[in-house]
Amino acid sequence: MEQTENTIKTRLAFLAVCFFWGSTYLAIRIGVQHFPPALLAGTRFFTAGLIVVVYAKFKRIPFPKAFHEYRQISIVGVLMLCTGSSMVFFASKWVNSGMSSLMIATVPLFMSFIESVVLRRRSLSLRGWMGLLTGFGGVALLVLSNSQNGTMHINGVLLLLLSAISWSVGSIYSREFHPSGDLITHIGIQMISGGIAITIVGVLLGETSQLQMNVAGLGALLYLIVFGSIVAYSSYIYILQHWPAAKAGTYAYVNPVVALSLGALVLDETISFSIIISAVIILASVYVVQTSKVSEMIPAATVSPATRSL
């Protein structure tokens, strides 16, 4: 009976992760129309991180012990949230929410490319290389087929590529060390550090003079904090306690479908035939790369799954 109850809870948590992380692209798209992007991202991550840290302190969840561990975790937060996820906030001023989610879905492709070609730590099989090349071909099709209708502005495309690459670098770097403490406190520290960094960027860009409090902007911010960060993160952590990481990570295949659907329903974003074909190519390629055999060239440390930005 208890096992059945845990199974139901885990599946509900998985559905929550799929929906809420998929819906964050819509919330971001709405939010940046009313709120400066850097301050929107910074407030979201810092507030969510602070809540997580306070919760961890209240529950006496262990924190890292050494200062250098805080520094390392903070670097991951800056890479994955400040120069990673926060770029999605900037890009969302030019790119539709559904297509943003497809571009970010390429993170596993960039991670495989960096580890195999740049760092030469892993050797992909022929199947893996075919998936990698096909996936980037899907991105090219997505960009080229939609650049003429205004839905894939070059500025947004470049920012999304920077986001995917920075997230990939941060994910790879997070495997280089084994900090003490609990995954929950690591997540809180990463969100606080990333939130502070992107808030500083916003202040330097003069975004404080652009602040205009309104219902739509505040609603998007609250949704991102509560559902995009706290609820989704909590659900994901619960899933990791009951499912293998590989199975838990399959939410990434569902997020773009949710984002595309909500973008079409709420914002009337067009889902063209080329977008559908690009989505199928990209997601299938990610699956091929993630399930292909690799051989280790340089032993790399492993660590619990890093935080999910959106």
The tens digit of pLDDT for each residue in 66-99 reads: 999 999 999 999 999 999 999 999 999 899 898 8
More confident residue, 233 or 245: 233
CB within 8 Å of 51: residues ≥ 6 apart: 225, 230
Q: Is pLDDT above 50 for 303? A: no
Torsion angles phi and psi, residue 152, rounded to 5: -130, 70
Query: Which residue is it, tokens 């520290």?
Result: 189
What span, in angstroms and rounded, lies between the C-alpha atoms of 283 and 280? 5
Listed in sequence order, the residues at least 6 apart from 131 whose beta carbon sits closer than 8 Å to its beta carbon are 109, 284, 285, 286, 287, 288, 289, 292
242-256: average pLDDT: 79
Give yes or no for residue 299 having a pLDDT over 60.
Answer: no
What's the pLDDT band for 3 if we cut at 50, 70, 90?
A: low
Residue (of 204, 181, 212) closest to 82 by Cα position: 204
Mean pLDDT of the chain: 87
- Cα separation, 97 vs 182, in Å, equals 33
pLDDT for residue 48 is more than 60:
yes
Is a pLDDT exceeding 60 seen at residue 304?
Answer: no
Band (115; pLDDT cuts 50, 70, 90)? confident
Cα(209)–Cα(79) distance, integer angstroms = 26
- Asked if the model's pLDDT at residue 28 lies above 70, the reply is yes
Domain boundaries of the chain, sorted by first residue: 2-296
CA distance 7 to 25: 28
The predicted structure's pLDDT at residue 206? 93
Question: Given the structure tokens 């409090």, which residue do they identify?
Answer: 213
* pLDDT digits 0-9 by tens, 173-225: 988 888 999 989 999 999 999 999 999 999 999 999 888 878 888 999 999 99
Query: pLDDT exceeding 90 applies to what percent of the chain?
Result: 54
Q: Give residues with Cβ within 8 angstroms of 24, minimum separation 6.
A: 224, 227, 228, 232, 310
